[in-house]
Amino acid sequence: DMESIDKLPTTFARLICLDEEWEKINALSSSNLLSLTHPHHLAYAIYTSGSTGKPKGVLIDQGNLLHYINNSKATYPLSHEGATLLHSSIAFDMSITSLFLPLVIGNTLHIASAQIQGDSLEEINNKLSQLSAIKLTPTQLGALKETLSTHVMDNRERCFIIGGENLLKEDLSPWLNNQAFAYATLLNEYGPTEATVGCCVFEISDLESSLQASVPIGRPISNTQIYILDSNLNPVPIGVTGEIYVGGAGLARGYLNKPDLTADKFVPNPFANEENVKEGKSLRLYRTGDLARFLPDGNIEFLGRIDDQVKIRGFRVELGEIESALSQYGDVKQAVVTVREDQPSDKKLIAYVILQESLTSSLVKGPTLLSSSQQEFTILSGDILPALTEALRNHLARSLPDYMIPSFFVFLNKIPFTANAKVDRKSLPAPDFNGDADSYVAPRNETESELCSIWEEVLGLPSGSVGIHGDFFKLGGNSLLAIRLVSKINTAFSRHVSLQDIIKRNSVSEISSLFQETVEILEYGEI
């Protein structure tokens, strides 16, 4: 009204008084204004890191965004009564779902403060019972499962959209078996930023019959094509691993000011037909770098990144397969496996393990470490860990070849996150190796002393860290390093020690005993 106008600050903008000018306003057209925005116009650019470590801007059109939001609106059972929490940075495309989806259906949107967005678990935990929908990463879902018993939930329909990383069955069991979440719908959403947030979805209900450790990523959403191809762009058979290629209405323009990278990642669609060419649609595919396979029921199982496929001693290793096997051990809550190459051509697998609460309470915390998002975490130590490490090695040996057994196990109180709530692999600490300190026995003579020095040189360990009972392979050795060890022993002692000797007698004391046996045979003859 006119009284309110006097209270407003001075401005160059035209002020309209509704009660005074209503007759004039009422005579105007009530139709929507003509939109000047078209589907091919740019909606946003989101920067995402790549294997090179250099961020690249992904260009998403209005049509891409509208396609994703319309599909989500039709697919995800969102209640109009509850609220949705925007808890991640808007620089991460996970925020697209949390921001736009509640607004287009008339839901309430809670926006977390910028101060807590780097570590939003506390805010999620506080508001969980009020929410009708939330989007989480598997890492966040796994961390939240410890507090499920504290929530008093009503019978409101809820929707949990999980995406951003590989989702394991172990992370879901507390949710599926909790009556408080009986009315919740859990959805595993897959999609690179280049395919506009999500291009494949799987509704999680009963996973008991599933033999896979990972939760399937489901099937492509509407107007989307997903192919699993070999290196020659040929479709692979059901059950065979290949690379995911995505096409359809969600495909981004490409990368900002990076035409070469765009051409490399967005390739011509070899399956485009004459109708596609005529309409100018589905002419490109995005090469994701993700590995997957089709399951017999038509769903897709995500198997990790091609980047995560590393060569260890000439063998191709998928880190996700080791992580999955570790997570199946009862005392392990979460595991991350990485590769370190502290010496040239000597790659070692390192397992970072989070234990169940019943075990961590008896362990000692080390100095505080910080992730890139300033999240605090620590290395744990304790008397039970050597035996547990041995148990984990034995557990892995039942299902994995020896070259996939990690050389070192590091126990943490929590896995560090990036600002985008993904595992911060760059912040994972190097193993703080102290040799076989827990069972260290010093060398008793000159032969054992020299053998210990050779052990340390080959393994790249500090001087004085290897005792006479230290197991070569448990100290980080492998078959290639064993060949180097044999060569150095034979040169230093002018003896013939074979690779089989090292495999059967893998400690300094046993090799020293072998020398003594050889001397006795030479002196007295074989009995």
| Token pair in block for residue 357 | 């609460």
Number of Cβ within a 10 Å radius of residue 488: 18
- Residues 13 and 158 occupy one common structural domain: yes
The whole domain housing 455 covers: 446-517
| Domain match, 64 and 44 both | yes
Burial tier of 116 (Cβ tally within 10 Å: 0-12, 13-18, 19+): middle
SS3 call for 161: strand
What is the Cα–Cα distance from 383 to 386, expressed in whole angstroms?
A: 7
Residues 132, 101 contacting (CB under 8 angstroms): no
DSSP letter for each residue of 80-102? SSSEEEE-S-TTSTHHHHHHHHH
Same domain, 332 and 252: no
What pLDDT shows up at residue 524? 45
* 241 and 388 co-located in one domain: no
Asked if residue 431 is part of any domain, the answer here is no
Task: Give the three-state DSSP class for 397.
Answer: helix
CA distance 424 to 9: 48
Does this model's pTM top 0.75?
A: no
- Mean pLDDT in order along the chain per 10 residues (527 residues): 75 82 88 89 86 76 96 87 84 89 89 65 73 83 64 70 84 69 84 94 75 85 96 94 96 95 95 89 93 94 79 68 86 88 70 89 88 87 85 88 84 85 84 60 85 84 79 74 80 79 82 72 46
DSSP states of 311-363 as a string? EETTEEEEHHHHHHHHHTSTTEEEEEEEEEEEETTEEEEEEEEEE-HHHHTTS
Judge whether 525 lies within some domain. Answer: no
pLDDT for position 197: 94
Q: What burial letters (b/e) apply to 335-366, b meaning 16+ CB within 10 Å?
A: bbbbbeeeeeebbbbbbbbbbeeebbeebeeb
286 domain-assigned: yes
Query: Are residues 303 and 216 in contact, defined by beta-carbon separation less than 8 angstroms?
Result: no
Q: Both 81 and 184 in a single domain?
A: yes
In a domain, 524, yes or no: no
CATH classification at residue 195: 3.40.50.12780
DSSP H helix total and E strand total for the chain: 16, 22
Q: Looking at the 3D structure of the chain, how many domains does it have?
A: 3
Q: Beta partners for 339?
A: 349
Listed residue (167, 187, 208) closest to 334, CA to CA: 167
Burial zone of 52 (CB within 10 Å; 0-12 exposed, 13-18 middle, 19+ buried): exposed
Both 230 and 333 in one domain: the answer is no
Residues 298 and 333 in one domain: no
| Structure tokens that stand for 122 in this block | 């506390």
One domain, residues 343 and 276: no
266: region left, alpha or beta (phi > 0 left; psi from -120 to 50 alpha): beta
- The verdict on residue 439 lying in a domain is no
Pairing of strands 219-220, 364-370: unpaired
244 belongs to a structural domain: yes
- Examine residue 526 and state whether it is found in any structural domain, yes or no: no
What's the CATH code of the domain at 376? Answer: 3.30.300.30
Q: Are residues 371 and 270 in the same domain?
A: no
Question: Is 347 within the bounds of a domain?
Answer: yes
Task: List the CATH number of the domain containing 453.
Answer: 1.10.1200.10
Of the three residues 257, 289, 305, the one that is the final residue of a domain is 305
Same domain, 223 and 246: yes
Last residue of a domain, one of 393, 426, 459: 426
- Same domain for 231 and 207: yes
Q: Specify whether 152 is located in the same domain as 168.
A: yes
| 119: DSSP letter | G
Which H/E stretch holds residue 259? helix 259-265
* pLDDT score of 462: 76
